[in-house]
Structure 1
């Protein structure tokens, strides 16, 4: 890479790091935010859900806007919006202002997510993109790890507001660097799909509300009706997308076998694996009575392994393609989840360290190689749209995984206790612990099945043909 390419990678890594850091750092600060703003559990939960919803719904369209007006321009704008959103989050006087500010953050995050992959495709030739995506994965893993560590330290010793204020100086510096060096603005003709975005957003909102309401109220006519409405809007969304000329999900682009199976594998892995992280966090806090910081630190080895190995795995995918590497990554994640299934009320905590390290290896093997396969097989001139579709599918999977985690936990123990355990304000004792472990085990087995589907789809993509990567 030349100097300019290295700076571009650095700026893209910063954008990824900020988004990743903010996701983990907010989870750890949940109890403090809830107490400080005198918020209900449901309102506090929407601090996470609003971010996931907006990113999931808007990413593809913002990637298409990048195709129209310039991907680098939209990426740099995303940095600015994310920075302002972070400032407003830190200044929030109440929970609803915080939720609104998180929505602003989400728009900025979606702008960066949707266009970063396309900028790599514009900047780097196909035979070295895996390496570039490896560095982007390094930014994600590093941000998640820093969020875990900084979240506990800042929330405990400084104040929850500063988990958002920390983004402001980083965002200003990164925006200036982006305006100076991330300047390539290739444009193509594209059209927005506002109707499809409305239909998908409505579907995801109703489904998310249904899961949250079930977690707090149990089975009730309201959440059953919300789930039914969400399902109807999903059907309407699919029917509309099949007929419109500029759909959010371009099914014609998915005729490419490698592209199709790579995107589906990314969706199912996101759907299956994120719930594992949440459930193990609940196990460590609720059953083993660890603090949120101590619980998160036990998962840190996975982020360290992922950070160190992601660039190297990206290079391997440049040479050998994504099929074997990404599929092996799903097997590592299944193995880690099976190890988590051995956890009981008195299992040595070093077991969690081993499983975390194996999961880090799995994510390092899967994501750089899979993302590289997607962009290497994207139609020329539609990098922004394809990158947006990939991010949308991953974000829908993340949102679904989150809803699965809270729903299963609420179904296994009393709902008020489950919700308090989830945000780290209490822990379980006695026979309830055994019931909660059974609920966690059921969810982990579901995750094994979902990750297994991702592995099958990853293998079904077939072998790629790429030019040999330079030494």
Structure 2
């Protein structure tokens, strides 16, 4: 379990630590605002497209073997990020990191399902939630310190010793016990999904920083067409990238959709809060990270207890309660102004982290309990894919909504921390952030409704 938690931890560290380093990366490498955004979006896109296919690798060649390969690839990618010299090199290195992260994420859930009986998986996923929260704590704190006092390269160098230790421990502790299964790869599905998401994301990113033009419309329409083609392709594949037959399982559909919407509604929150603290309030990275630290600490502590509650009550109540708590957090964040107390931000982040600690173990347990034993790897990968799709669109949706109050190019610059605001412009941008948080709040409410629907069936306690 410790080895699995390290995998979650290193992924969480990378997710939060990069946010605080975006301005420094842009300035040092002399890259454009849109390029620095793809440092985040490119990583998430690779994880999204590859999760199910690499979970299939686990079924074929052993989940532990692929899990260890994930650590190795992620560590190599971190080294490449640290030595990057321009936009293509840093984005390419992040793509390599994304492959490693996808290998880790796609197989970790299946490993837990093999290690623990169904009645104890909630506690196990609770420990996973602890690893995620603790990793987020390290990412926020270490990111603030390194960017402020050392250099942005060290946010990637720090992954190297963690990855090596995890690789050694995994080699010594974990063993493959499940039978190997023959799987086919869905190249047509991967290509249409990847290019479709890329087209839509490229258009949304461009629209957040500039006016709508024919090129952006072309990317948007092309992306949508490819996503429709992806669904058609999947319906005809024997072993698709997204196994749509999983949606025939009553508990699976609301669980996966809740995961997607939770990703849309929550992933960009850290970006929005950092944008508010560094842009509207003019804080340095280290001060912003220290303000958010208590929420991540409390979230890490709550995770294992929320997992035990899932084992006791089933998934519906803890998952829905977690989403409801997240709705409250969005309402708190939406009250922020250019002059409001910073305690409001700290409390909002605390509530947000507690909500996530309840949702993740409960929802993961629901998916893995509902999945047939011979398809645990596929189910784990599908869950990660839906969550990742939500995260990718969370980032771009937040930018589009938040940028409506001031010129898009200026909002985009503030979003990655390269500009600070004063006076009336700060107040106007804070109003834009309010709209973004209310949008995320609405998405979270929809996710909570879907989560609660699991309680209407005969397998409500799954």
SS at match of 1:381: helix
Structure 1 residue 427 corresponds to structure 2 residue 397: no
1:118-177 C-alpha deviation (Å, 9 max, x unpaired): 000111100001111111111111111111110111122222111111111111111111
Aligned to 1:135: 127
Aligned match for 1:363, one of 348, 356, 360: 356
Stretch moving more, 108-117 or 457-466: 457-466
Structure 1 segment 2-401 matched on structure 2, within 5 A:
9-186=1-178, 187-401=180-394
Distance in 2 (alpha carbons) for counterparts of 1:311 and 1:155: 31
Distance in 2 (alpha carbons) for counterparts of 1:39 and 1:244: 41
1:185 Cα deviation after fit: 4.7
Distance in 1 (alpha carbons) for counterparts of 2:335 and 2:461: 41
1:356 Cα deviation after fit: 1.4
Distance in 1 (alpha carbons) for counterparts of 2:247 and 2:354: 28
Distance in 2 (alpha carbons) for counterparts of 1:112 and 1:261: 25
Aligned match for 1:445, one of 438, 443, 446: 438
TM-score by length of 2: 0.96
Query: Would the aligned equivalents of 2:402 and 2:435 in 1 still touch at CA under 8 Å?
Result: no
Query: Would the aligned equivalents of 1:336 and 1:359 in 2 still touch at CA under 8 Å?
Result: yes
1:391 Cα deviation after fit: 0.1
SS at match of 2:395: helix
1:263 Cα deviation after fit: 1.1
1:278 Cα deviation after fit: 1.9
Distance in 2 (alpha carbons) for counterparts of 1:83 and 1:281: 27
1:465 Cα deviation after fit: 6.7
Distance in 2 (alpha carbons) for counterparts of 1:280 and 1:158: 23
Stretch moving more, 93-102 or 71-80: 93-102
Query: Would the aligned equivalents of 2:261 and 2:390 in 1 still touch at CA under 8 Å?
Result: yes
1:257 Cα deviation after fit: 1.1
Aligned to 1:6: none
Aligned match for 1:407, one of 381, 400, 423: 400
1:466 Cα deviation after fit: 6.5
Go from structure 1 to structure 2 and tell me whether the alpha carbon gap of 1:154 and 1:292 turns closer, same or farther (over 3 Å shift): closer
1:239 Cα deviation after fit: 1.4
Distance in 1 (alpha carbons) for counterparts of 2:168 and 2:430: 49
1:435 Cα deviation after fit: 2.3
SS at match of 1:412: coil
Distance in 2 (alpha carbons) for counterparts of 1:178 and 1:106: 20
Distance in 1 (alpha carbons) for counterparts of 2:2 and 2:60: 25
Query: Would the aligned equivalents of 1:326 and 1:365 in 2 still touch at CA under 8 Å?
Result: yes
Distance in 2 (alpha carbons) for counterparts of 1:271 and 1:41: 22
Query: Would the aligned equivalents of 2:403 and 2:429 in 1 still touch at CA under 8 Å?
Result: no
1:248 Cα deviation after fit: 1.6
1:417 Cα deviation after fit: 1.6
1:338 Cα deviation after fit: 0.7
Q: Which runs of 5+ in 2 are unaligned?
A: none
Query: Would the aligned equivalents of 1:137 and 1:311 in 2 still touch at CA under 8 Å?
Result: yes
Runs of 4+ residues deviating >6 angstroms: none
1:414-465 C-alpha deviation (Å, 9 max, x unpaired): 2232122111122112222232222222222211111011101101012647
Distance in 2 (alpha carbons) for counterparts of 1:342 and 1:376: 39
1:391-431 C-alpha deviation (Å, 9 max, x unpaired): 00000000000011122233321223212211112211222
SS at match of 2:47: helix
Distance in 2 (alpha carbons) for counterparts of 1:375 and 1:353: 34
